[in-house]
Structure 1
């Protein structure tokens, strides 16, 4: 029997990248899966990828909605419970970063970008977790948040607001873990480093900009000691590990860093990343 048979996983931001990879792996490992994102076309691509693996249509629910709105979150939770009758695993993966309209970074970046990134990366995680809480308590479930090495302790001036939102998410993971473990619900997190996900284009960066950065990092041991950029599946496997109570039951409120060793050296900070990405 697959390890997640009989369980229901809701993966936000599953129309692409890490979320898509995690949703596929959960389905392959027996879970019924709710996938969600704002882009209906990309969400359908995720659904088709799952179905091509031989998963029954009844095991996959696709909900295209705006996770930044509480109405969208209500639709997401209610549809999951209506379709599957329970919720065992919540993966808070959806996130965003924004570039300044005038190319400013650090303290010069418009504070309206801070408001937008905190709304998506932090506020929506809090409210969705609140809405899912009672169902997760019923199943003694799991929450896995997707953070980032941008949370620190190193400074990331080019993505300051994004890093701040992920630092807040790390603290939320710790606090929620203690709040919920008394009810039998575990909360943990994964902090990816560089991963090929298409995130840069979604930010509005030049097409291929992140690819240029990844290629540069792979060629420099002071930037990426392992010499190979991460793939979505590398992070998805950690998400499934943290959602598997038999394997990770004693891990509470922690974040696993998966970055090929980058944060041990952080040599990439000595280079102008904007130039490397063609900005």
Structure 2
């Protein structure tokens, strides 16, 4: 039985990774979906995956868009409502990580890199949410943001400018949730850990190096206690849960961490301390 019969979802960043997996899952469970990203070919692959599961072509809207362009944001919302007549679920999955053109790392990166992270990973999400609110209020709808495990409680020097807007996004989620639940709209987020997506490609990391990173993280339980990196479907399942008013109605303003246990570790837990702790 479909979980979302008659519902309409707009999933940003759905040309790959978590966004694609989420759009495919929501469509499989009854949603009409708008998929969007900047790459036409990748969006077409997402569309074909959706159609393979039996979704009607008329129930899928494909829009190429750059979410840092305000007119593209407007077009996404307006076109979705024009085609489907409503909007029930907004999944803010679009995001990215960017490298300094001079190869600098940490706090030495240029401010243009900082600005790019802030615009893509925070400002665009805030703007999309603001534009969707009038329509979500009509349907008593849902917003699910995609944050990151590294947003809270951990220093993250390698991805400092990526973690900062994600931390702000978690605060936006909490604050917007309090305001919007008064109008029947829920806002929550999911914070993935290391996930095997196109994240490396977006940073210009060669496939061979990315594969080595995945293998390293999977084989070191001091990194991921579960013993494997997440796949996009793992995250999509949690997003669908948060978008399902029947299943998660009392969850408001939360960021659900999906990281295989990584965030539970302290430094000492990476080592076997049983020897010197024995009496």
**TM-score tier (shorter):** over 0.9
Check whether the contact 1:223–1:266 (CA below 8 A) recurs between aligned residues: no
Equivalent position of 1:51 in the other structure: 51
Equivalent position of 1:21 in the other structure: 21
When the two structures are superposed, what TM-score results if normalisation uses the length of structure 1? Answer: 0.94
Equivalent position of 2:4 in the other structure: 4
Output the CA distance in 2 between the equivalents of 1:221 and 1:133: 42
Check whether the contact 1:191–1:255 (CA below 8 A) recurs between aligned residues: yes
Check whether the contact 1:222–1:266 (CA below 8 A) recurs between aligned residues: no
Instruction: Report whether the alignment pairs 1:124 with 2:124.
Output: yes
SS in 1 for 2:183: coil
Instruction: Report whether the alignment pairs 1:177 with 2:159.
Output: no
Equivalent position of 1:99 in the other structure: 99
Output the CA distance in 1 between the equivalents of 2:222 and 2:154: 15
- After superposition, what is the alpha-carbon deviation per residue over 1:149-186, rounded to whole angstroms, capped at 9, x for unaligned? 12021111010000001000000000110110000000
Output the CA distance in 2 between the equivalents of 1:219 and 1:250: 37
Equivalent position of 1:115 in the other structure: 115
Output the CA distance in 2 between the equivalents of 1:136 and 1:99: 35
How large is the Cα RMSD of the aligned pairs?
1.5
Gaps of 5+ in 2: 271-279
- After superposition, what is the alpha-carbon deviation per residue over 1:216-251, rounded to whole angstroms, capped at 9, x for unaligned? 111111111110110000000000000001111110
- After superposition, what is the alpha-carbon deviation per residue over 1:235-278, rounded to whole angstroms, capped at 9, x for unaligned? 000000000011111100000000011111266xx9xxxxxxxx
Equivalent position of 2:199 in the other structure: 199
Shift of 1:107: 1.1
Alignment of 1:230-269 (within 5 A): 230-265=230-265
- After superposition, what is the alpha-carbon deviation per residue over 1:44-66, rounded to whole angstroms, capped at 9, x for unaligned? 11001111111100110000111
Output the CA distance in 1 between the equivalents of 2:19 and 2:56: 20
Q: If you compute each CA radius of gyration, which structure gives the higher value, 1 or 2?
A: 2
Output the CA distance in 2 between the equivalents of 1:125 and 1:62: 19
SS in 2 for 1:68: coil
Output the CA distance in 2 between the equivalents of 1:266 and 1:52: 44
Equivalent position of 2:223 in the other structure: 223
Equivalent position of 1:276 in the other structure: none
Equivalent position of 2:36 in the other structure: 36
Equivalent position of 2:76 in the other structure: 76
Gaps of 5+ in 1: 271-279
SS in 1 for 2:48: helix
SS in 2 for 1:33: strand
The size of the alignment, in residue pairs, is 270
Output the CA distance in 1 between the equivalents of 2:157 and 2:227: 24
Shift of 1:41: 0.7
Output the CA distance in 1 between the equivalents of 2:125 and 2:85: 22
